[in-house]
Chains A and B, each alone.
Chain A
Amino acid sequence: MSAIDQLFADLRAAGRKAFMPFITAGDPDLDFTADVLRTLVERGSSMCELGIPYSDPIADGPVIQASYTRALEQGIKLRDIFGMLERLTPELPAPVVTMVSYAIVYRRGPERYVAAARAAGIAGAIVPDLPADEAQALADACRREGLSLIQLITPNTPRDRALRIAEQTTGFIYYVSVAGITGERTELPPEIAENVAWLREQTPLPVCIGFGISRPEHVQALAPVADGLIVGSAIVRRIAEASHKPREQVLRDIAEYVDTLLAAMR
């Protein structure tokens, strides 16, 4: 049983939901990324999603784009990110999954990428620009190495296609709350609950909701209908303040924010 499968089995047995923050690797440097990951897990995050900076992220809004740019301007390389995770993951009591563009995976080669990710202690991969139709080679490599391949389903995915995507998915399904890019939103579409409920009836896989979630009221409304929630831009925006705030202060701000969302989840 993979680390992610184990996590969701435990959460389901306890009647709890996963809280999964997203941050960018190397924003503003990898030491701070490791500190933020430790803080996020200490405060009770079930799993962390780490964005591998990419030069042309078409699914991301301005906040995450800017964080990718900051990280790349520091000259961050994939081997440095994997090196940091190799040291960190043994002491981190929560799985780490990466959000990574297929441009980066392809450059290494799917086989080599997956092997290197496993060696770094990474539990899963989310590849936002690799639709299921193009994903077979990576899915095969992931299955062989035991890396979960977390696929995305969106509000405009037809239902028969959603089932095909679910069949290729391991770990959990990432349900995208809105047709659009990442970023905080005031309101989320009302049909999320119905779509996620339908999906959870069709597949034994856990379904987590991401994109746009940032407020306690979002968490309150969506936690009951899903297996977990993903929060990205709202945390990345706080990390951006490390440019002009003491890092201890940024870590405290993040901890406080996460506490608020976790309280809304219970």
Chain B
Amino acid sequence: MPILPDASGRFGTFGGRYVPETLVGALDELAEQYAEACADPAFQAELDSLLWHYVGRPSPLYHAERLSEQCGGARIYLKREDLNHTGAHKINNTLGQALLTRRMGKHRVIAETGAGQHGVATATACARFGLECIVYMGAEDIRRQRPNVFSMKLLGAEVRPVTSGSRTLRDAINEAMRDWMASVGTTHYCLGSVVGPHPFPQIVRDFQAVIGREARRQCLDQLGRLPDVVVACVGGGSNAAGIFYPFLDDAGVKLLGVEAGGRSGAPGDHAAPLCFGSPGVLHGSFSYVMQDDDGQTADVHSISAGLDYPGTGPEHSYWKDIGRVEYTQATDAEVLTAFDRLARCEGILPALESSHAVAKAMDLAARLPADQVVVVNLSGRGDKDAAEIARLRGEEAGGLGEQERTEATERGKLR
């Protein structure tokens, strides 16, 4: 595989930099500082030390034996990013960007968040480095991910509700960009996924690639071989890019990205631009996006706030078009089933985002022979989702049975 992005920030035809002139200087500076940081062994050493002692890396590669048995086919291994400090993979990126912020001499950090995991991870890194932190979050996401909102405040961040548009991740990114337009001299925008203008998709992928490097090494150490399939959920696509990237040249390893299939494949019912969308421009980059025939961004839906986004990373678009990664989708209902299954038979509450990957891994494992190995990126923990799941099932948080679930479905609460 060629080394990408190229000098113009492109992955094939995807990527680039579609931003107002006001931001071009800051993106140039970021690209330059990042290149210098990459060449500086002290930078990498400091980041590695933080990942080891502060985040708790390496995260385990765990053989989910009972889940594998129940699926009745291939062996399923979970890359336990949910065990990281702050409960998701997002901290890998925010610590790296906090170090870059300090390098650039900036003291204020802004971020967008959907599920709140990137917001918490940014607030955490800012607290750790004494940086001012402002997180933009859609009002709808604030409602459905309340535990994370409170955590951000406890960590000293200011959470600014975004009430424009769909009141979700997409609008939070718009608002963060607008803040950055006026504050670009003193502020770093800590973008949380492999989206946005160059160099963000590259920087975030590189900081997350620790997941794939570890998983690859762990497979060789624990199993004596590479896995047959690696599965990850894809919204913007940072955890997927992170685990896929180090496997790209391993032709025998199949890579599967799982988008949010929502209620159905009908427009507005899902958030799966790689499955159902078309190439277009959104949030500073050229990539697959859900849009209408005029290029207006379309409304999307997902049960999980972190995947409820109409665009995706430009490198995923590239991997799709060259056929290196296969992209599929899991519906809200499949996701809830996978969530329950992992909770009940492994004692792990996965984030609803990660449950998309679990759902498709279960399907896949059932169809593969027992000597095959499926690695799932369990990108985050699901505590944040417990209350929302209870609400969807028409319950106060507490004993949730199949019976109640069926009733809730019939009442139309879970479509």
A interface residues with partner B (beta carbon < 8 Å): 54-62, 65, 69, 72, 77-78, 101-108, 128-134, 151-154, 156-158, 161, 165, 176, 178-181
Contact = CB atoms under 8 A, between A and B. Distances in A.
Residue in B185, B282, B296 with the greatest tally of chain A CB atoms within 10 Å: B296
B22 A61 contact: no
A77 B294 contact: yes
A133 B182 CA distance: 22
B295 A104 contact: yes
A104 B291 CA distance: 10
Contacts of A153: 21
B164 interface: yes
Given A58-B19, A59-B20, A103 B25 contact: no
Contacts of A154: 20-22
A69 B165 contact: yes
Contacts of B174: 56-58
B185 A179 contact: yes
7 contacts: A58-B19, A72-B296, A104-B294, A106-B286, A108-B295, A157-B25, A180-B181
A215 to B, nearest CB: 20
Interface in B74-90: none
B120 to A, nearest CB: 24
A56 B282 contact: yes
A103 B292 CA distance: 11
B22 A56 contact: no
Nearest to B175: A58
Contacts of B164: 62, 65, 69
Contact of B19 (A56, A129, A180, A181): A129
Contact of A55 (B8, B21, B165, B184): B165
Contacts of B106: none
Contact of A59 (B181, B295, B297): B181
A133 B31 CA distance: 15
Interface of B: 8, 16-22, 24-25, 164-165, 170, 174, 177-178, 181-182, 184-185, 280-284, 286, 291, 293-297
Contacts of A161: 24
Given A65-B164, A181-B182, A176 B22 contact: yes
A211 to B, nearest CB: 10
B20 A78 contact: no
Given A65-B164, A152-B21, 6 more contacts: A56-B297, A102-B281, A104-B295, A134-B16, A157-B21, A181-B178
Residue in A151, A153, A181 with the greatest tally of chain B CB atoms within 10 Å: A181
Residue in B280, B282, B291, B295 with the greatest tally of chain A CB atoms within 10 Å: B295
7 tightest CB-CB pairs across the interface, nearest first?
Answer: A107-B295, A180-B182, A58-B177, A103-B281, A104-B295, A103-B295, A55-B297
Contact of B18 (A69, A77, A102, A165): A102
A181 B296 contact: no
Contacts of B280: 103, 106-107
A158 B25 CA distance: 8
Contact of B20 (A56, A62, A131, A133): A131
Nearest to B295: A107
Given A58-B19, A102-B281, A131 B24 contact: yes
Contacts of B282: 56, 103
Contacts of A54: 295-296
Contacts of A102: 18, 281
A101 B25 CA distance: 20
Contact of A180 (B22, B24, B281, B283): B22
Contacts of B283: 56, 58
Contacts of B16: 134
Contacts of A69: 164-165
B24 A129 contact: no
Residue in A59, A62, A69, A176 with the greatest tally of chain B CB atoms within 10 Å: A59
A179 B281 contact: no
Contacts of A151: 21
Given A103-B281, A106-B281, A179-B182, A156 B22 contact: yes
Contacts of A58: 19-20, 174, 177-178, 181, 283-284
A58 B8 CA distance: 22
Contacts of A105: 295
Residue in A56, A72, A108, A176 with the greatest tally of chain B CB atoms within 10 Å: A56
A67 to B, nearest CB: 12
A129 B284 contact: yes
A160 B177 CA distance: 25
A108 to B, nearest CB: 7
Contacts of B293: 107
Residue in A60, A72, A108, A129 with the greatest tally of chain B CB atoms within 10 Å: A129
Contacts of B295: 54, 101, 103-108
Contacts of B22: 59, 154, 156, 176, 179-180
A131 B165 contact: no
A65 B209 CA distance: 37
Contacts of A129: 18-20, 281, 284
B181 A56 contact: no
Residue in A60, A131, A153 with the greatest tally of chain B CB atoms within 10 Å: A131
Nearest to A162: B21
B8 A133 contact: yes
Contact of B21 (A57, A62, A176): A176
Contacts of B182: 178-181
A178 B296 CA distance: 27
B40 to A, nearest CB: 25
A103 B281 CA distance: 5
Contacts of A134: 16-18
B289 to A, nearest CB: 8
A84 to B, nearest CB: 15
A103 B284 CA distance: 10
Contacts of A104: 294-296
